[in-house]
A and B are shown apart, each in its own frame.
Chain A
Amino acid sequence: MFEREVTPEQRERQKLLENRAWLDKNFERIQKEYANQWIVILDGRVVSHDSEVEVAKRSAEGREGEAVLMRIPAGAIPTPM
């Protein structure tokens, strides 16, 4: 199963993971700037932000499969263990 050719959907998923990895790496800075807002990340950067998710996600139209859409919380992120 792993040997098969990469499909467009799998390529899209790879890009999604890259965008999420970028968010994870830059989270502290992103949280300072965008706390309590919805953001969209594409191509390794924040392409839109808004307090309303329906507004923020317009910039992801057509590229939903690779976009990270997230509400950025304020405050410390818990580390349970």
Chain B
Amino acid sequence: MAKFPFRSMRDWIDFLKEQGQLIENKEEVDLRGEVAAISRKIALNSGPAVLHTAVKGYPGWRIFSDGLTTRQRAAWALGVSSEGIVTNLANRMTRLEKQKPVLVKDGPCKELRFFGDQVDLIKLPIAFTGEYDIPPFITAGISNIRDPETGWQNTGIRRFQLKGKSHLNNLVLPFQHEGIIYGKYIKKSQSAPIAIVIGADPLYNLISLMPAPDQVDEMDTWGAFAGTPLEVVKCETSDLLVPATAEIVIEGEMDPKERALEGPFSEFTGFYSGLRMLPVIHVKCVTMRRDCIYQNMYMAVPTSEAHNMGHLMNEVELLRQIKEFVPEVKDVAILSSWGMMTAISVDKKAKARKPGLVNKIAVTVKTVKASPFVKNVIVVDDDVDAHNVHEILWCMSVKFQGQKDILVIPDFPGTIFDPSEPYLGKGPGVTSYTVFDCTEKPPPYDEAYKRGVAQPKENYRKLVEEKWGLYGF
């Protein structure tokens, strides 16, 4: 019986099946929109993961997706309870003992090897996401690149647009670790070796989304979470290390100067990204399992598997980093679009003693490294569940007055992905940073709050939770 830590995507698929959280779809699916539309419906309904076993035009291939679309499945993948997952993980991150990966001679990811002219990415069942992502993108590709000066190997999930039999575009941005490392190759006028992993275990997927500090090897963090080192193999064409049990590994190089037109792409903002001139990966080698399973990750207008994964890992880092400066912060919940709408809960008793605490939180949030996408912040007291949108909207309804409780910092660094930024007339990358104070108002304006939250007695609420299955619901 598969259990944490899951050593491969196959272990994970077996586990999900045992939990009743996997559908094996035998109906043929079309890559041109059907695979994406199925994932969209799964995300909207918090549905199970799916293994498609018949793909039109791609005989013998299977596609796995939505393994991490729900918070419960992400919790299983991380080996933690879903209850209080963000605070638990944030606490755990401060105590992690990193474990370096272990190099093994061989692994299932090398059962088949294709070099040079044998490589044909057109034969991978890369699914379209939105209607206008033309050509389609590899969306569950985890990129690995090594710092030529320090030897640090960075791992991060990114998107790769299919551009030919052996060409991909790579969204590398200067503020990301991969961009910083690639910048060093550019300075040296050298091509950067790169390895893209598709179909790794779920922990590797989640770690690849974590906004980790500089010079931190995500594979070490894998070992810290799992309590055992990750088994890796060396690539065929470089010294990059990849999980031995991955389904597919695409090895290539990025020329320091070559750029090609990339996009549009179904972005996390729910609109298509614009076109950009981005680096090109020339693929030199592909290795894979003999009966490999392609992993697809849907991302488009919220919500999606990508949003669920990204939001969780960003929440953990945001909470951990903010608490270093404001320990009174209790929880962080990304409500939409990778942090562009975020809720933060604060210790209610501490707030009563410390006037200005909400403003302190407001300023601190945008100084931490994990905050580039944070744009609108709703602050609530810690007797509210920051992850519950109904409760957040309730706070906004009855604990908020616009003319007193909005802090706007104009012309703030934003994300170039926000389609509303040009509206400010300052070009992309400039935004309004806005904080909504939705905490209970201080004395003497708190009389209504002191009358208490209108709900049944707590012991009956707990009783009903325990007996829910007995009522016939």
**Which residues of A are in contact with B by a Cβ distance under 8 Å?**
1-2, 4, 7-10, 12-14, 16-17, 20-21, 23-24, 27, 64-65, 67-71, 73, 77-81
For the complex formed, measure the closest distance between the CB of A6 and the CB atoms of chain B, giving whole angstroms. Answer: 8
CA distance A48 to B164 in the complex (A): 24
Interface pair B274/A81, CB less than 8 Å apart: no
* A-B residue pairs, 10 tightest by C-beta: A9-B57, A79-B277, A7-B57, A24-B261, A2-B120, A2-B123, A77-B275, A13-B122, A68-B134, A80-B173
Q: Is residue B162 within 8 Å, beta carbon to beta carbon, of the partner chain? A: yes
Which residues of chain B are near A10, meaning CB under 8 Å? Answer: 57-58, 122-123
Interface pair A1/B135, CB less than 8 Å apart: no
CA distance A39 to B276 in the complex (A): 18
Which residues of chain B are near A65, meaning CB under 8 Å? Answer: 32
Interface pair B60/A17, CB less than 8 Å apart: no
Give 18 pairs: A residue, B residue, CB < 8 Å, sorted on A. Answer: A2-B114, A2-B119, A7-B57, A10-B57, A20-B135, A23-B261, A24-B163, A24-B260, A65-B32, A67-B134, A71-B264, A73-B275, A77-B277, A78-B276, A79-B277, A80-B173, A81-B173, A81-B279
Interface pair B135/A17, CB less than 8 Å apart: yes
Interface pair A20/B163, CB less than 8 Å apart: yes
For the complex formed, measure the closest distance between the CB of A39 and the CB atoms of chain B, giving whole angstroms. Answer: 11
Nearest A residue to B289 via CB reads A1
For the complex formed, measure the closest distance between the CB of A69 and the CB atoms of chain B, giving whole angstroms. Answer: 6
Nearest A residue to B164 via CB reads A17
Taking a contact as CB atoms closer than 8 A, the residue among A2, A12, A20 that contacts B134 in the complex is: A20
Contact with A along B124-147 (1 / 0, CB 8 A): 000000011011000000000000
Which residues of chain B are near A1, meaning CB under 8 Å? Answer: 60-61, 112, 123, 288, 292
CA distance A68 to B163 in the complex (A): 12
Task: Give the contact stretch, choosing among B14-22, B178-186, B354-362, B446-454.
Answer: B178-186
- B59-104 contacts to A (CB < 8 Å): 59-61
Which residues of chain A are near B292, meaning CB under 8 Å? Answer: 1
Interface pair B58/A9, CB less than 8 Å apart: yes
Q: Is residue B278 within 8 Å, beta carbon to beta carbon, of the partner chain? A: yes
CA distance A81 to B163 in the complex (A): 19
Give the size category of B's interface with A: 35 or more
CA distance A23 to B135 in the complex (A): 12
Q: Is residue B326 within 8 Å, beta carbon to beta carbon, of the partner chain? A: no
For the complex formed, measure the closest distance between the CB of A10 and the CB atoms of chain B, giving whole angstroms. Answer: 5
Q: Is residue B118 within 8 Å, beta carbon to beta carbon, of the partner chain? A: yes
Chain A interface helix/strand/loop/mixed: mixed
- B172-210 contacts to A (CB < 8 Å): 172-174, 179, 182-183, 186
**A81 and B122 in contact, given A7-B57, A16-B134 (Cβ under 8 angstroms):** no
Interface pair A81/B186, CB less than 8 Å apart: yes
Interface pair A80/B174, CB less than 8 Å apart: yes
Which residues of chain A are near B123, meaning CB under 8 Å? Answer: 1-2, 4, 10
Interface pair A81/B57, CB less than 8 Å apart: no
CA distance A79 to B275 in the complex (A): 9
**A17 and B163 in contact, given A79-B276, A81-B173 (Cβ under 8 angstroms):** yes
Which residues of chain B are near A27, meaning CB under 8 Å? Answer: 261
Nearest A residue to B61 via CB reads A1
CA distance A71 to B260 in the complex (A): 17
For the complex formed, measure the closest distance between the CB of A79 and the CB atoms of chain B, giving whole angstroms. Answer: 4
Q: Is residue B365 within 8 Å, beta carbon to beta carbon, of the partner chain? A: no
Interface pair B135/A16, CB less than 8 Å apart: yes
Which residues of chain B are near A78, meaning CB under 8 Å? Answer: 274, 276-277, 416, 428
CA distance A55 to B416 in the complex (A): 30
CA distance A16 to B138 in the complex (A): 16
Interface pair B182/A9, CB less than 8 Å apart: no
Q: Is residue B56 within 8 Å, beta carbon to beta carbon, of the partner chain? A: yes
Which residues of chain A are near B118, meaning CB under 8 Å? Answer: 2
Interface pair B164/A81, CB less than 8 Å apart: no
For the complex formed, measure the closest distance between the CB of B148 and the CB atoms of chain A, giving whole angstroms. Answer: 16
Interface pair A21/B163, CB less than 8 Å apart: yes
Q: Is residue B286 within 8 Å, beta carbon to beta carbon, of the partner chain? A: yes
CA distance A23 to B262 in the complex (A): 11
Q: Is residue B31 within 8 Å, beta carbon to beta carbon, of the partner chain? A: yes
Interface pair A81/B172, CB less than 8 Å apart: yes
Further 11 A-B residue pairs, CB within 8 A, beyond A7-B59, A17-B122, A67-B134: A1-B292, A4-B59, A4-B123, A69-B134, A70-B134, A77-B261, A78-B277, A79-B259, A79-B277, A81-B173, A81-B278
- B321-360 contacts to A (CB < 8 Å): none
CA distance A21 to B161 in the complex (A): 12
Which residues of chain B are near A67, meaning CB under 8 Å? Answer: 134
Interface pair B132/A71, CB less than 8 Å apart: yes
For the complex formed, measure the closest distance between the CB of B35 and the CB atoms of chain A, giving whole angstroms. Answer: 13
Interface pair B276/A80, CB less than 8 Å apart: yes
Interface pair A9/B31, CB less than 8 Å apart: yes
